[in-house]
Structure 1
Amino acid sequence: MLTHVIERILQALAVMLVMSALVFVGVYAIGNPIDVLIGPDVSQDIRLDTIARYGLDKPLWEQYFTFLDRVLHGDFGRSFVFGMPVLELILSRLPATLELTLAAVLGAALVGIPAGIYAGYRPDSPLSKLIMALSILGFSVPTFWIGLVLIMTFAVELQWLPAGGRGETARLFGVEWSFLTPNGLSHLLLPALNLAFFKLALMTRLARAGTREVMLTDTVKFARAAGIPESVILRRHVLRLISIPLVTVFGLEFASTLAFAVVTETIFSWPGIGKLIIDSIQSLDRPVMVAYLMLVAFVFIMINFLVDLTYFALDPRLRKGRA
């Protein structure tokens, strides 16, 4: 087990190093942020001084190694637009996106997995057919369209929920959270629901397919022959056997939602890192763009690492294989 963990850590470090080079070159080789930072009517001396101040007069490879040295010391540079450390800027927006992501993915899992298990256990019931029809709808309808419908229905027509913003927040462990206040929770519901639709459909269909497969195995047949109650079979056998693919999808969906909640944050004016990266792309704020993409790579690597460790906890065959 320890050997496996060390191997995965070394692989993660190698991937992060490669990703840092690809991200840096890809971002810094495109566009010229000086055209955005200063006006076209400034003198050539001011223009050259600005280029030198941001280190853009150096070769690209030298800029990369300077960047890598700063990163190793915990410094991702300063934002061209906001004029503050990039890491501080991203961390100030991260709780909003993390809160939205957790609400969406956890909600989708808590509803989708039981619904999928029921649909797989009773495939011919009317409720199961309704569940599968709704899951198809979740796959088919674009996220931005669902967001607009939610705003028109619940914010404009019914006026039950606010159309955008984060609302009031409360501090917990030194971080501001919306779900701790009634007003903030009302602002959280619509964007979380918008993000959860696709995840809900995916979790439902995956749980349904896994349940249908497991119900035909000898394990379930022998359990039924032994007189074990159906509730126990579903809890101890079916859920346990389908847990590994569910954990995999949950981890990947959490990482992708955390990294790419751009559309939802834009529609609902949610002040997270997704909206920040859109603003940074428009202004060619290179340090923010690079740090954001590095964060995305780090999140995916860490989620895969945690999912891999969860496999060992769920499947004893893997532990025996490493023994």
Structure 2
Amino acid sequence: MFAFLVRRISQAVFVMLVISLLGFSIRHQIGDPVRDLVGVSVSVAEREALRDELGLNDPFHVQYLRFLKGLLKGDLGQSFFFKKPALDVILAKMPATLELVFCAGVIIVVFSVPLGMYAAIRPKSFFSRLIMGGSIVGVSIPVFLTAILLIYLFSVILGWLPSYGRGELVMVGGWQTGMLTADGWLHLILPSIALSSIMLPLFIRLIRSEMMEVLETEYIRFAHAKGLSKVRVWLVHGFRNTLLPVITVGGVQIGTMIAFTILTETVFQWHGMGFMFLEAVQRADTSLLVAYLMVVGFLFVVVNTLVDILYGIVNPKVRVSGRQ
């Protein structure tokens, strides 16, 4: 276990270095932050003085090394627009995104597991065919179109749910959340459904295909021959051995959902990390963009490491060290 953790930490450090280098490589192609910070009446000399003050005229490697030194101290740079540490800006927006991803993940788990299992156990039934047909439609529709359709149906036509914003928020410690108010939950329903729509069909099809393969194995036939109940065979022997590939894909897709929140948050005006990212692009806030890439990359690395550790919990035959 110790050797595995050392190896994973080394890989994580390397991945973070690559992400930081890629972020710095594209930062000069996005735009000029000085242009967005000052008015048109500011002279060229004043603009150059501001660029020198911000360190934008320094060579690339000097700026990159400065960023790495600050990174070791937990400093991801200064946001040009907000005029505060970029990490503080991201942490202020993170609760909105994490709540959205969490609720979408709950929807995916609650619906994909029973629907995928049923489609695997009764593959020829009408309901199974309906599930698989619906999953194809779900995969084909982009998330922003799903969001617009949900707004049109439940907000414009029926008037049941709000179409934008986070609703009433309360502060719990340093976490600003809407999950403790009824209005916050009402505002959370549509964005969560829209975000889950991109992964729910994928997980239904994945669980179905993996479980159908497991149900054809010899030990499943042996379990039936021993007289075990069908429910026990399906849940304990079948579904448990289906979890390994599901956990693998799920770990990767959590990071993908964080990235897809950009579209969802834009449609619903949900002021999270994705909405902040688009604002940073429009304002050419390169420091905030690089910090965002670092934070999202860090979340990817942490989730993938936890997925590897979960292998040994779900299936004791699998060891994180690679030995059996």
Q: TM-score range with shorter-chain normalisation?
A: over 0.9
Q: How does 1:118-197 map to 2 (within 5 A)?
A: 118-197=118-197
Counterpart for residue 46 of structure 1: 46
Q: Deviations over 1:20-40 (max 9, x none)?
A: 112112213543222222233
Counterpart for residue 14 of structure 2: 14
The one-letter code sitting in structure 2 at the alignment partner of 1:58 is D
The one-letter code sitting in structure 1 at the alignment partner of 2:262 is V
Q: Which segment is superposed worse, 239-248 or 254-263?
A: 254-263
Question: Is 1:322–2:314 an aligned residue pair?
Answer: no
User: Is the contact made by 1:90 and 1:273 (CA closer than 8 Å) also made in structure 2?
Assistant: yes
Q: Which segment is superposed worse, 41-50 or 266-275?
A: 41-50
Q: Which segment is superposed worse, 236-245 or 33-42?
A: 33-42
The one-letter code sitting in structure 2 at the alignment partner of 1:296 is V
Q: How does 1:62-101 map to 2 (within 5 A)?
A: 62-101=62-101
Q: Which segment is superposed worse, 155-164 or 30-39?
A: 30-39
Distance 1:106 1:252 in 2: 16
Alignment coverage as a number of residue pairs: 323
User: Is the contact made by 2:138 and 2:197 (CA closer than 8 Å) also made in structure 1?
Assistant: yes
Please report how far the alpha carbon of residue 269 of structure 1 lies from its aligned counterpart in structure 2 after TM superposition.
0.4
Please report how far the alpha carbon of residue 44 of structure 1 lies from its aligned counterpart in structure 2 after TM superposition.
2.6
Please report how far the alpha carbon of residue 13 of structure 1 lies from its aligned counterpart in structure 2 after TM superposition.
0.9
Gap regions ≥5 residues in structure 1: none
Q: How does 1:204-283 map to 2 (within 5 A)?
A: 204-283=204-283
User: Is the contact made by 1:105 and 1:253 (CA closer than 8 Å) also made in structure 2?
Assistant: no
The one-letter code sitting in structure 1 at the alignment partner of 2:151 is I
Counterpart for residue 28 of structure 1: 28
> The residue matched to 2:171 in structure 1 has which SS?
strand
Counterpart for residue 203 of structure 1: 203
Distance 1:231 1:152 in 2: 41
Please report how far the alpha carbon of residue 142 of structure 1 lies from its aligned counterpart in structure 2 after TM superposition.
1.3
The one-letter code sitting in structure 2 at the alignment partner of 1:97 is T
User: Is the contact made by 1:109 and 1:250 (CA closer than 8 Å) also made in structure 2?
Assistant: no
User: Is the contact made by 2:107 and 2:196 (CA closer than 8 Å) also made in structure 1?
Assistant: yes
Distance 1:287 1:232 in 2: 54
> The residue matched to 1:248 in structure 2 has which SS?
helix
Please report how far the alpha carbon of residue 170 of structure 1 lies from its aligned counterpart in structure 2 after TM superposition.
2.7
Distance 2:237 2:260 in 1: 35
Gap regions ≥5 residues in structure 2: none
Distance 1:5 1:205 in 2: 33
Please report how far the alpha carbon of residue 78 of structure 1 lies from its aligned counterpart in structure 2 after TM superposition.
1.6
> The residue matched to 2:253 in structure 1 has which SS?
helix
Q: What is the RMSD of the two structures over their aligned residues, measured on CA atoms?
A: 1.4
Q: Deviations over 1:63-84 (max 9, x none)?
A: 1111111111111122111111
> The residue matched to 1:25 in structure 2 has which SS?
helix
User: Is the contact made by 2:30 and 2:286 (CA closer than 8 Å) also made in structure 1?
Assistant: no
Q: Which segment is superposed worse, 9-18 or 83-92?
A: 9-18
TM-score w.r.t. the length of structure 1 is 0.96
Distance 1:54 1:260 in 2: 32
User: Is the contact made by 2:30 and 2:284 (CA closer than 8 Å) also made in structure 1?
Assistant: no
Q: Detail structure 1 runs of 4+ shifted over 6 Å in the superposition.
A: none
> The residue matched to 1:77 in structure 2 has which SS?
coil
The one-letter code sitting in structure 2 at the alignment partner of 1:136 is I
Counterpart for residue 5 of structure 1: 5
Q: Deviations over 1:138-173 (max 9, x none)?
A: 101111111111001000110000010000123334
Q: Deviations over 1:48-91 (max 9, x none)?
A: 21111110111111011111111111111221111111111000
Distance 1:142 1:30 in 2: 26
Distance 1:122 1:172 in 2: 46
Distance 1:26 1:299 in 2: 21
| Identical amino acids, percent of aligned pairs | 40
Distance 1:71 1:20 in 2: 10
Counterpart for residue 117 of structure 2: 117
Distance 1:92 1:29 in 2: 27
User: Is the contact made by 1:105 and 1:250 (CA closer than 8 Å) also made in structure 2?
Assistant: no
User: Is the contact made by 1:117 and 1:208 (CA closer than 8 Å) also made in structure 2?
Assistant: yes
The one-letter code sitting in structure 2 at the alignment partner of 1:246 is V
Distance 2:88 2:250 in 1: 28
